[in-house]
Protein backbone atom coordinates (compact mmCIF):
# COMPACT_ATOMS: atom_id res chain seq x y z
CA UNK A 1 0.00 0.00 0.00
CA UNK A 2 0.87 3.66 -0.13
CA UNK A 3 2.95 4.95 2.74
CA UNK A 4 3.76 8.34 4.27
CA UNK A 5 6.33 9.25 6.91
CA UNK A 6 5.02 10.62 10.17
CA UNK A 7 4.45 14.37 10.25
CA UNK A 8 6.36 16.11 12.98
CA UNK A 9 5.56 18.94 15.32
CA UNK A 10 5.74 22.20 13.35
CA UNK A 11 5.90 25.67 14.85
CA UNK A 12 5.19 28.86 12.86
CA UNK A 13 4.56 32.55 13.53
CA UNK A 14 1.12 34.13 13.29
CA UNK A 15 0.65 35.85 9.94
CA UNK A 16 3.36 33.74 8.27
CA UNK A 17 3.04 30.99 5.67
CA UNK A 18 3.78 27.32 6.42
CA UNK A 19 4.39 24.24 4.27
CA UNK A 20 3.51 20.79 5.59
CA UNK A 21 5.16 18.13 3.43
CA UNK A 22 5.16 14.34 3.29
CA UNK A 23 6.96 11.90 0.98
CA UNK A 24 4.54 9.32 -0.40
CA UNK A 25 5.63 6.01 -1.86
CA UNK A 26 3.71 3.17 -3.45
CA UNK A 27 2.19 2.08 -6.74
CA UNK A 28 0.25 4.64 -8.74
CA UNK A 29 -2.42 5.78 -8.89
CA UNK A 30 -2.23 7.25 -5.40
CA UNK A 31 -4.89 9.52 -3.85
CA UNK A 32 -3.79 11.99 -1.16
CA UNK A 33 -6.20 13.62 1.35
CA UNK A 34 -5.31 16.25 3.96
CA UNK A 35 -7.39 16.65 7.08
CA UNK A 36 -7.46 18.93 10.10
CA UNK A 37 -9.01 17.05 12.95
CA UNK A 38 -11.91 15.18 11.35
CA UNK A 39 -12.49 17.74 8.57
CA UNK A 40 -11.20 17.26 5.04
CA UNK A 41 -9.20 20.31 3.95
CA UNK A 42 -10.35 21.95 0.69
CA UNK A 43 -8.40 24.45 -1.34
CA UNK A 44 -9.29 28.16 -1.21
CA UNK A 45 -7.50 31.52 -1.29
CA UNK A 46 -5.75 30.63 1.98
CA UNK A 47 -4.95 26.93 1.49
CA UNK A 48 -3.29 25.12 -1.43
CA UNK A 49 -2.81 21.33 -1.77
CA UNK A 50 -0.30 19.71 -4.18
CA UNK A 51 0.97 16.19 -4.91
CA UNK A 52 3.84 15.92 -7.36
CA UNK A 53 6.66 13.42 -7.86
CA UNK A 54 5.87 11.49 -4.69
CA UNK A 55 5.71 14.61 -2.54
CA UNK A 56 2.44 15.77 -0.91
CA UNK A 57 2.35 19.32 0.43
CA UNK A 58 -0.12 21.60 2.25
CA UNK A 59 0.54 25.36 1.92
CA UNK A 60 -1.26 27.60 4.47
CA UNK A 61 -1.01 31.43 4.23
CA UNK A 62 -1.78 34.20 6.75
CA UNK A 63 -1.58 31.91 9.76
CA UNK A 64 -3.86 32.67 12.70
CA UNK A 65 -5.23 30.92 15.76
CA UNK A 66 -7.75 28.96 13.72
CA UNK A 67 -4.92 27.24 11.85
CA UNK A 68 -3.34 25.64 14.97
CA UNK A 69 -4.17 21.97 15.50
CA UNK A 70 -3.57 18.36 14.44
CA UNK A 71 -3.16 17.75 10.70
CA UNK A 72 -3.18 14.37 8.97
CA UNK A 73 -2.15 13.20 5.52
CA UNK A 74 -3.73 10.02 4.12
CA UNK A 75 -2.38 8.25 1.03
CA UNK A 76 -4.49 5.58 -0.67
CA UNK A 77 -4.01 3.25 -3.66
CA UNK A 78 -5.51 -0.05 -4.79
CA UNK A 79 -3.48 -1.99 -2.25
CA UNK A 80 -4.67 0.06 0.73
CA UNK A 81 -3.90 3.29 2.58
CA UNK A 82 -1.80 4.82 5.32
CA UNK A 83 -2.12 7.99 7.38
CA UNK A 84 0.27 10.11 9.44
CA UNK A 85 -0.37 12.97 11.84
CA UNK A 86 1.42 16.10 12.95
CA UNK A 87 0.73 19.13 15.12
CA UNK A 88 0.93 22.77 13.98
CA UNK A 89 1.57 25.31 16.71
CA UNK A 90 1.22 29.07 16.10
CA UNK A 91 3.53 31.44 17.95
CA UNK A 92 3.10 35.17 18.43
CA UNK A 93 -0.68 35.01 18.90
CA UNK A 94 -0.48 37.99 21.18
CA UNK A 95 0.46 40.05 18.14
CA UNK A 96 -2.93 39.31 16.48
CA UNK A 97 -4.76 42.66 16.01
CA UNK A 98 -8.55 43.06 16.22
CA UNK A 99 -10.18 44.81 13.25
CA UNK A 100 -10.65 48.58 13.15
CA UNK A 101 -12.13 50.89 10.51
CA UNK A 102 -9.92 53.10 8.38
CA UNK A 103 -12.92 54.71 6.64
CA UNK A 104 -16.58 54.32 7.53
CA UNK A 105 -19.63 54.53 5.22
CA UNK A 106 -21.27 57.96 5.10
CA UNK A 107 -24.92 58.70 5.78
CA UNK A 108 -26.79 59.75 2.63
CA UNK A 109 -30.01 61.49 1.65
CA UNK A 110 -30.98 60.71 -1.94
CA UNK A 111 -33.83 60.65 -4.44
CA UNK A 112 -35.89 57.55 -5.27
CA UNK A 113 -34.56 55.41 -8.12
CA UNK A 114 -30.91 56.19 -7.37
CA UNK A 115 -28.07 53.70 -6.81
CA UNK A 116 -26.42 53.88 -3.38
CA UNK A 117 -22.94 52.65 -2.43
CA UNK A 118 -21.91 52.34 1.23
CA UNK A 119 -18.17 51.58 1.52
CA UNK A 120 -15.84 50.81 4.40
CA UNK A 121 -12.12 50.09 4.64
CA UNK A 122 -10.50 48.41 7.64
CA UNK A 123 -7.38 46.81 9.04
CA UNK A 124 -6.62 43.95 11.42
CA UNK A 125 -5.12 40.50 11.49
CA UNK A 126 -6.42 38.22 8.75
CA UNK A 127 -8.64 36.44 8.19
CA UNK A 128 -11.33 39.11 8.44
CA UNK A 129 -15.04 38.31 8.17
CA UNK A 130 -17.40 41.06 6.88
CA UNK A 131 -21.19 41.27 7.32
CA UNK A 132 -23.70 43.99 6.30
CA UNK A 133 -27.01 44.61 8.08
CA UNK A 134 -30.11 46.77 7.71
CA UNK A 135 -31.30 47.17 11.26
CA UNK A 136 -30.96 43.66 12.73
CA UNK A 137 -31.43 41.83 9.41
CA UNK A 138 -28.30 40.58 7.65
CA UNK A 139 -28.06 41.45 3.95
CA UNK A 140 -26.86 39.14 1.20
CA UNK A 141 -26.25 39.65 -2.50
CA UNK A 142 -29.43 39.27 -4.55
CA UNK A 143 -32.17 41.30 -6.20
CA UNK A 144 -31.52 45.01 -5.71
CA UNK A 145 -28.65 44.37 -3.28
CA UNK A 146 -24.98 43.59 -4.07
CA UNK A 147 -22.10 43.08 -1.59
CA UNK A 148 -18.44 43.10 -2.67
CA UNK A 149 -15.72 42.25 -0.11
CA UNK A 150 -11.95 42.34 -0.63
CA UNK A 151 -9.05 41.80 1.80
CA UNK A 152 -9.30 45.17 3.56
CA UNK A 153 -12.44 46.77 2.11
CA UNK A 154 -16.10 46.06 1.46
CA UNK A 155 -19.01 47.90 -0.11
CA UNK A 156 -22.78 47.49 -0.22
CA UNK A 157 -24.69 48.64 -3.32
CA UNK A 158 -28.46 49.18 -3.42
CA UNK A 159 -30.18 49.71 -6.77
CA UNK A 160 -33.32 51.71 -7.63
CA UNK A 161 -33.89 52.67 -4.01
CA UNK A 162 -37.32 53.62 -2.73
CA UNK A 163 -38.55 55.28 0.49
CA UNK A 164 -38.96 51.84 2.12
CA UNK A 165 -35.16 51.38 1.84
CA UNK A 166 -34.58 54.21 4.31
CA UNK A 167 -32.99 53.13 7.59
CA UNK A 168 -29.74 52.37 9.46
CA UNK A 169 -27.18 50.20 7.64
CA UNK A 170 -24.19 48.70 9.50
CA UNK A 171 -20.96 46.94 8.57
CA UNK A 172 -19.47 44.38 11.01
CA UNK A 173 -15.88 43.17 10.65
CA UNK A 174 -14.61 40.24 12.78
CA UNK A 175 -11.45 38.20 13.31
CA UNK A 176 -10.13 35.90 16.00
CA UNK A 177 -9.13 38.87 18.13
CA UNK A 178 -12.49 40.65 18.11
CA UNK A 179 -15.10 42.50 16.03
CA UNK A 180 -16.10 46.08 15.27
CA UNK A 181 -19.19 47.71 13.74
CA UNK A 182 -20.02 51.05 12.18
CA UNK A 183 -23.27 52.34 10.73
CA UNK A 184 -24.67 54.95 8.37
CA UNK A 185 -28.19 56.24 7.85
CA UNK A 186 -29.84 56.13 4.44
CA UNK A 187 -32.77 58.46 3.83
CA UNK A 188 -34.60 58.06 0.53
CA UNK A 189 -36.60 61.20 -0.10
CA UNK A 190 -40.30 60.77 -0.80
CA UNK A 191 -41.42 62.69 -3.90
CA UNK A 192 -44.20 65.23 -3.53
CA UNK A 193 -47.48 63.40 -4.21
CA UNK A 194 -51.13 64.39 -3.85
CA UNK A 195 -53.03 62.06 -1.52
CA UNK A 196 -56.28 64.04 -1.88
CA UNK A 197 -56.64 65.66 -5.28
CA UNK A 198 -58.75 68.59 -6.41
CA UNK A 199 -62.29 67.74 -7.47
CA UNK A 200 -62.52 67.43 -11.30
CA UNK A 201 -64.90 70.40 -11.39
CA UNK A 202 -66.33 72.90 -8.95
CA UNK A 203 -69.15 75.39 -9.31
CA UNK A 204 -68.38 78.89 -8.11
CA UNK A 205 -70.91 81.59 -7.27
CA UNK A 206 -70.64 85.18 -8.38
CA UNK A 207 -69.99 87.61 -5.54
CA UNK A 208 -69.06 84.87 -3.07
CA UNK A 209 -65.73 83.19 -2.30
CA UNK A 210 -64.55 79.82 -3.55
CA UNK A 211 -62.03 77.52 -1.86
CA UNK A 212 -59.93 74.96 -3.72
CA UNK A 213 -57.98 72.51 -1.57
CA UNK A 214 -55.91 69.34 -1.83
CA UNK A 215 -53.55 67.31 0.39
CA UNK A 216 -49.92 66.52 -0.40
CA UNK A 217 -47.30 64.20 1.08
CA UNK A 218 -43.53 64.01 0.57
CA UNK A 219 -40.18 64.96 2.04
CA UNK A 220 -39.95 68.61 3.07
CA UNK A 221 -39.40 71.17 1.84
CA UNK A 222 -42.39 71.07 -0.52
CA UNK A 223 -43.08 74.09 -2.70
CA UNK A 224 -46.72 74.70 -3.69
CA UNK A 225 -47.63 76.71 -6.80
CA UNK A 226 -51.09 77.52 -8.19
CA UNK A 227 -51.92 78.19 -11.84
CA UNK A 228 -55.01 79.38 -13.71
CA UNK A 229 -55.10 78.44 -17.39
CA UNK A 230 -51.32 77.71 -17.16
CA UNK A 231 -50.47 81.15 -15.72
CA UNK A 232 -49.06 81.21 -12.20
CA UNK A 233 -51.24 82.87 -9.57
CA UNK A 234 -49.63 85.32 -7.17
CA UNK A 235 -50.90 86.08 -3.68
CA UNK A 236 -53.11 89.17 -3.85
CA UNK A 237 -56.30 90.72 -2.55
CA UNK A 238 -58.11 88.44 -5.01
CA UNK A 239 -56.18 85.21 -4.35
CA UNK A 240 -55.07 83.84 -0.97
CA UNK A 241 -52.79 80.78 -0.85
CA UNK A 242 -51.88 78.75 2.24
CA UNK A 243 -50.15 75.47 3.10
CA UNK A 244 -51.12 74.31 6.58
CA UNK A 245 -49.74 70.91 7.49
CA UNK A 246 -50.29 68.86 4.37
CA UNK A 247 -53.29 70.85 3.06
CA UNK A 248 -52.80 73.35 0.23
CA UNK A 249 -55.60 75.91 -0.13
CA UNK A 250 -56.41 78.57 -2.74
CA UNK A 251 -59.20 81.01 -1.89
CA UNK A 252 -60.85 83.10 -4.60
CA UNK A 253 -62.49 86.21 -3.19
CA UNK A 254 -65.47 88.06 -4.72
CA UNK A 255 -65.92 85.62 -7.60
CA UNK A 256 -66.68 86.99 -11.07
CA UNK A 257 -67.17 85.43 -14.52
CA UNK A 258 -63.45 85.97 -15.20
CA UNK A 259 -62.64 83.45 -12.45
CA UNK A 260 -63.97 80.56 -14.53
CA UNK A 261 -61.21 78.36 -15.96
CA UNK A 262 -58.82 75.49 -15.25
CA UNK A 263 -56.93 75.66 -11.95
CA UNK A 264 -53.83 73.55 -11.30
CA UNK A 265 -51.93 72.96 -8.06
CA UNK A 266 -48.27 71.90 -8.40
CA UNK A 267 -46.37 70.32 -5.49
CA UNK A 268 -42.60 70.03 -5.91
CA UNK A 269 -39.60 68.88 -3.84
CA UNK A 270 -36.10 67.58 -4.57
CA UNK A 271 -37.42 64.06 -5.22
CA UNK A 272 -40.13 64.94 -7.75
CA UNK A 273 -43.36 66.80 -8.43
CA UNK A 274 -47.07 66.15 -8.90
CA UNK A 275 -49.98 68.20 -10.26
CA UNK A 276 -53.73 68.21 -9.72
CA UNK A 277 -56.27 70.18 -11.77
CA UNK A 278 -59.92 71.18 -11.74
CA UNK A 279 -62.30 73.20 -13.89
CA UNK A 280 -63.98 76.03 -12.03
CA UNK A 281 -67.09 77.34 -13.71
CA UNK A 282 -70.39 79.15 -13.55
CA UNK A 283 -73.17 77.22 -15.32
CA UNK A 284 -76.26 78.56 -17.05
CA UNK A 285 -79.50 77.30 -15.51
CA UNK A 286 -81.12 74.32 -17.22
CA UNK A 287 -84.23 72.29 -16.52
CA UNK A 288 -83.94 68.63 -15.57
CA UNK A 289 -87.71 68.39 -15.00
CA UNK A 290 -90.42 70.47 -16.72
CA UNK A 291 -94.17 70.79 -16.18
CA UNK A 292 -96.46 69.52 -18.96
CA UNK A 293 -99.80 70.59 -20.49
CA UNK A 294 -102.76 69.66 -18.32
CA UNK A 295 -106.52 69.89 -18.13
CA UNK A 296 -107.76 70.95 -14.71
CA UNK A 297 -111.11 70.41 -13.05
CA UNK A 298 -113.04 73.53 -12.20
CA UNK A 299 -112.48 74.75 -8.59
CA UNK A 300 -109.54 72.38 -8.00
CA UNK A 301 -105.99 73.42 -7.03
CA UNK A 302 -103.14 72.75 -9.44
CA UNK A 303 -99.33 72.81 -8.96
CA UNK A 304 -96.85 73.44 -11.77
CA UNK A 305 -93.43 72.13 -10.71
CA UNK A 306 -90.03 72.14 -12.39
CA UNK A 307 -86.45 71.37 -11.34
CA UNK A 308 -83.51 73.50 -12.41
CA UNK A 309 -79.73 73.04 -12.11
CA UNK A 310 -76.83 75.40 -12.75
CA UNK A 311 -74.97 77.92 -10.65
CA UNK A 312 -77.05 79.85 -8.09
CA UNK A 313 -78.21 82.41 -7.30
CA UNK A 314 -81.19 82.24 -9.69
CA UNK A 315 -83.87 84.78 -10.49
CA UNK A 316 -87.24 83.12 -11.15
CA UNK A 317 -90.11 84.66 -13.14
CA UNK A 318 -93.59 83.19 -13.73
CA UNK A 319 -95.82 84.43 -16.54
CA UNK A 320 -99.33 83.62 -17.79
CA UNK A 321 -100.00 84.56 -21.38
CA UNK A 322 -96.79 86.67 -21.16
CA UNK A 323 -98.02 88.63 -18.15
CA UNK A 324 -96.19 88.40 -14.79
CA UNK A 325 -97.65 86.14 -12.09
CA UNK A 326 -96.91 87.08 -8.48
CA UNK A 327 -97.70 85.44 -5.16
CA UNK A 328 -101.25 86.32 -4.05
CA UNK A 329 -104.39 84.71 -2.68
CA UNK A 330 -104.77 83.13 -6.13
CA UNK A 331 -101.13 82.10 -6.69
CA UNK A 332 -98.33 80.77 -4.49
CA UNK A 333 -94.73 80.74 -5.79
CA UNK A 334 -92.24 78.44 -4.05
CA UNK A 335 -88.47 78.01 -4.52
CA UNK A 336 -86.78 75.26 -2.50
CA UNK A 337 -83.23 74.32 -3.50
CA UNK A 338 -83.54 73.24 -7.14
CA UNK A 339 -87.36 72.81 -7.06
CA UNK A 340 -89.53 75.68 -8.32
CA UNK A 341 -93.34 75.57 -8.21
CA UNK A 342 -96.44 77.67 -8.88
CA UNK A 343 -99.73 76.73 -7.20
CA UNK A 344 -103.03 78.02 -8.64
CA UNK A 345 -106.01 77.88 -6.27
CA UNK A 346 -109.67 77.20 -7.29
CA UNK A 347 -108.94 76.88 -10.99
CA UNK A 348 -111.58 78.34 -13.30
CA UNK A 349 -111.89 79.41 -16.91
CA UNK A 350 -110.01 82.66 -16.30
CA UNK A 351 -106.96 80.66 -15.17
CA UNK A 352 -106.69 78.73 -18.42
CA UNK A 353 -103.82 79.77 -20.69
CA UNK A 354 -100.08 79.39 -21.32
CA UNK A 355 -97.90 79.35 -18.20
CA UNK A 356 -94.19 80.04 -18.44
CA UNK A 357 -91.32 79.74 -15.94
CA UNK A 358 -88.15 81.70 -16.74
CA UNK A 359 -84.95 81.16 -14.70
CA UNK A 360 -81.84 83.33 -15.09
CA UNK A 361 -78.38 83.73 -13.56
CA UNK A 362 -75.31 85.77 -14.54
CA UNK A 363 -74.41 83.34 -17.30
CA UNK A 364 -77.71 82.64 -19.05
CA UNK A 365 -81.36 81.66 -18.78
CA UNK A 366 -83.82 78.86 -19.53
CA UNK A 367 -87.57 78.72 -20.09
CA UNK A 368 -90.23 76.04 -19.89
CA UNK A 369 -93.91 76.51 -20.68
CA UNK A 370 -97.16 74.63 -21.21
CA UNK A 371 -100.91 75.11 -21.52
CA UNK A 372 -103.35 74.73 -18.66
CA UNK A 373 -106.95 74.21 -19.76
CA UNK A 374 -110.20 73.86 -17.85
CA UNK A 375 -111.41 70.29 -18.06
CA UNK A 376 -114.70 70.36 -20.08
CA UNK A 377 -117.66 68.08 -19.31
CA UNK A 378 -118.97 65.97 -22.20
CA UNK A 379 -121.25 67.75 -24.66
CA UNK A 380 -123.23 66.28 -27.55
CA UNK A 381 -122.42 68.04 -30.81
CA UNK A 382 -124.76 65.65 -32.65
CA UNK A 383 -127.42 63.71 -30.78
CA UNK A 384 -128.89 60.32 -31.60
CA UNK A 385 -132.12 60.44 -33.63
CA UNK A 386 -135.36 58.40 -33.70
CA UNK A 387 -135.24 55.37 -35.98
CA UNK A 388 -137.87 53.02 -37.46
CA UNK A 389 -136.95 49.52 -38.59
CA UNK A 390 -138.58 46.37 -39.89
CA UNK A 391 -138.08 43.10 -38.06
CA UNK A 392 -134.84 41.44 -39.14
CA UNK A 393 -133.28 44.75 -40.17
CA UNK A 394 -130.15 46.58 -38.89
CA UNK A 395 -130.14 49.97 -37.13
CA UNK A 396 -127.33 52.38 -36.13
CA UNK A 397 -127.58 55.07 -33.44
CA UNK A 398 -124.73 57.60 -33.75
CA UNK A 399 -123.72 60.65 -31.68
CA UNK A 400 -120.79 63.08 -31.86
CA UNK A 401 -119.33 64.14 -28.47
CA UNK A 402 -116.81 66.76 -27.39
CA UNK A 403 -115.18 67.38 -24.01
CA UNK A 404 -112.02 66.59 -22.06
CA UNK A 405 -110.68 63.10 -22.46
CA UNK A 406 -110.91 60.46 -21.24
CA UNK A 407 -114.65 60.17 -21.91
CA UNK A 408 -116.51 56.97 -21.11
CA UNK A 409 -119.56 56.18 -23.29
CA UNK A 410 -122.31 53.75 -22.29
CA UNK A 411 -125.68 52.85 -23.87
CA UNK A 412 -128.99 52.11 -22.13
CA UNK A 413 -132.45 50.90 -23.20
CA UNK A 414 -135.30 51.89 -20.95
CA UNK A 415 -132.66 52.66 -18.25
CA UNK A 416 -131.06 49.20 -18.46
CA UNK A 417 -127.40 48.91 -19.56
CA UNK A 418 -126.94 47.40 -23.00
CA UNK A 419 -124.38 44.61 -23.20
CA UNK A 420 -122.57 43.65 -26.39
CA UNK A 421 -123.37 40.32 -28.04
CA UNK A 422 -123.15 38.84 -31.53
CA UNK A 423 -125.84 41.23 -32.85
CA UNK A 424 -125.07 44.26 -30.66
CA UNK A 425 -121.86 46.29 -31.13
CA UNK A 426 -120.74 49.57 -29.48
CA UNK A 427 -117.80 51.80 -30.48
CA UNK A 428 -116.41 55.23 -29.58
CA UNK A 429 -113.83 56.36 -32.11
CA UNK A 430 -112.72 59.91 -33.03
CA UNK A 431 -115.39 61.44 -30.78
CA UNK A 432 -118.15 59.43 -32.51
CA UNK A 433 -120.20 57.02 -30.37
CA UNK A 434 -121.99 54.26 -32.29
CA UNK A 435 -124.53 51.56 -31.33
CA UNK A 436 -125.32 49.00 -34.04
CA UNK A 437 -128.04 46.33 -33.66
CA UNK A 438 -128.58 43.58 -36.24
CA UNK A 439 -131.49 41.14 -36.62
CA UNK A 440 -134.02 43.54 -35.12
CA UNK A 441 -136.78 41.88 -33.11
CA UNK A 442 -139.89 43.08 -31.36
CA UNK A 443 -137.98 43.23 -28.05
CA UNK A 444 -135.71 45.96 -29.45
CA UNK A 445 -138.59 48.43 -29.62
CA UNK A 446 -138.19 51.19 -27.00
CA UNK A 447 -136.28 54.27 -25.78
CA UNK A 448 -132.46 54.33 -26.08
CA UNK A 449 -129.99 56.54 -24.18
CA UNK A 450 -126.38 57.48 -25.03
CA UNK A 451 -124.48 58.49 -21.87
CA UNK A 452 -121.09 60.30 -21.94
CA UNK A 453 -119.04 60.80 -18.74
CA UNK A 454 -115.67 62.29 -17.69
CA UNK A 455 -114.17 63.82 -14.53
CA UNK A 456 -115.96 67.10 -15.23
CA UNK A 457 -119.50 65.78 -15.66
CA UNK A 458 -122.05 63.52 -17.34
CA UNK A 459 -124.48 64.06 -20.25
CA UNK A 460 -127.26 61.99 -21.83
CA UNK A 461 -129.30 62.11 -25.00
CA UNK A 462 -132.13 59.78 -26.09
CA UNK A 463 -134.06 58.56 -29.13
CA UNK A 464 -136.82 56.03 -29.95
CA UNK A 465 -136.48 52.83 -31.93
CA UNK A 466 -139.80 51.76 -33.47
CA UNK A 467 -140.02 48.22 -34.78
CA UNK A 468 -142.60 47.94 -37.56
CA UNK A 469 -144.66 44.95 -38.36
CA UNK A 470 -145.46 44.06 -34.76
Q: What is the DSSP string of 341-362?
A: EEEE-S--GGG-EEEEEEEE-S
Q: Which has the higher per-residue pLDDT, 3 or 263?
A: 263
pLDDT at 248 over 80: yes
pLDDT digits (tens, 9 = 90+) for 379-427: 999 999 999 999 999 999 999 999 988 999 999 999 899 999 999 999 9
Provide mean pLDDT across the span 140-169. Answer: 94
Cα–Cα distance between 21 and 15 in angstroms, integer?
A: 19
User: Which pLDDT belongs to residue 2?
Assistant: 55
CA 415 to each of CA 154, 328, 379, 410, 447: distance values in angstroms, whole numbers, following the listed order: 118, 48, 20, 11, 9
Spatial distance between the Cα atoms of 232 and 201, rounded to a whole number of angstroms: 19
Q: Convert the pLDDT of each residue in 41-100 to its tens digit.
A: 999 888 999 988 888 889 998 887 778 888 888 989 888 888 888 888 877 655 578 999
Q: Which CATH superfamily is 100-188 part of?
A: Immunoglobulins (2.60.40.10)
For residue 121, pLDDT beyond 90? yes
Closest CA to 54 of 33, 36, 32, 80: 32
Q: What is the pLDDT of residue 386?
A: 96
pLDDT of residue 92: 64
pLDDT at residue 413 in the model? 94
Share of the chain above pLDDT 70, in %: 97
CATH superfamily of this structure's domain 379-468:
Immunoglobulins (2.60.40.10)
- The chain-wide mean pLDDT, for the chain, equals 90
CA count, 13 A, side-chain hemisphere, 286:
5
pLDDT at 346: 93
Of the listed ranges 362-366, 418-422, 456-460, the one predicted with least confidence: 362-366
What pLDDT was estimated at residue 132? 96
Of 5-9, 264-268, 324-328, give the lowest mean pLDDT range.
5-9
pLDDT above 90 covers a percentage of the chain that reads: 61
Of residues 226 and 219, the one with the higher pLDDT is 226
Nearest to 282 by CA among 306, 253, 307, 259: 259
Question: Burial level of 292, CB count in 10 A (0-12/13-18/19+)?
Answer: exposed
Whole-angstrom CA distances from 108 to 115, 131, 145, 203, 320 are 11, 20, 17, 47, 79
Q: Which segment of 222-226, 251-255, 430-434, 459-463 scores lowest on mean pLDDT?
A: 251-255
CATH 2.60.40.10 fits 193-277, yes or no: yes
Nearest to 13 by CA among 49, 50, 67: 67
Q: In whole angstroms, give the CA distance from residue 351 to residue 182.
A: 96
pLDDT greater than 50 at residue 292: yes
Per-residue pLDDT at 37: 85
Supply the pLDDT for residue 371: 94
Task: Please state which architecture CATH assigns to domain 286-374.
Answer: Sandwich (2.60)
Q: How far is Cα 180 from Cα 202, in angstroms, rounded to an integer?
A: 62
Domain definitions of the chain by residue range: 10-91, 100-188, 193-277, 286-374, 379-468
Kindly report which listed range (75-79, 146-150, 333-337) carries the lowest average pLDDT score.
75-79
Q: Looking at the predicted structure, is the pLDDT value of residue 137 above 90? A: yes
Query: Quick one: average pLDDT of 330-339?
Result: 93
Least confident window among 5-14, 144-153, 325-334: 5-14
Q: Which of 359, 361, 360, 362 is nearest to 258 (CA)?
A: 362
Task: Decide: pTM greater than 0.75.
Answer: no
pLDDT exceeds 70 at position 3: no
DSSP 414: T
Query: For residue 1, what pLDDT is reported?
Result: 47
Looking at 1.10.287.130, 2.60.40.10, 1.10.540.10, 2.40.50.140, the CATH number of the domain 10-91 comes to: 2.60.40.10
* CA distance linking residue 229 with residue 261, whole number of Å: 6
468 vs 10: CA distance, rounded Å:
159
Say if residues 382 and 400 touch (Cβ distance below 8 Å). Answer: yes
Amino acid sequence: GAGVPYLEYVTALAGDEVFLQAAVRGSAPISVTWMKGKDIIKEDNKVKVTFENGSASLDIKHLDTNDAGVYSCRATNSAGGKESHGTLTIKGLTSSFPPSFVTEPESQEISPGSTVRLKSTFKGTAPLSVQWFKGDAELTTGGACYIMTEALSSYLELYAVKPADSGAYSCKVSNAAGSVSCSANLFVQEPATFVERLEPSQLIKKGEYAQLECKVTGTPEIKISWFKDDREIKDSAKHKMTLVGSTAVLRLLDVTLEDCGEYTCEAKNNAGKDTSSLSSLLKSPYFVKEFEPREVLKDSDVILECEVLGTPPFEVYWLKDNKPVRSSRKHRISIENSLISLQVFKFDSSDAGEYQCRVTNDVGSCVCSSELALKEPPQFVKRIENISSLRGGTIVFQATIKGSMPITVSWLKDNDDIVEDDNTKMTFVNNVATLMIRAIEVKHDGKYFCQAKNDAGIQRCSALLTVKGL
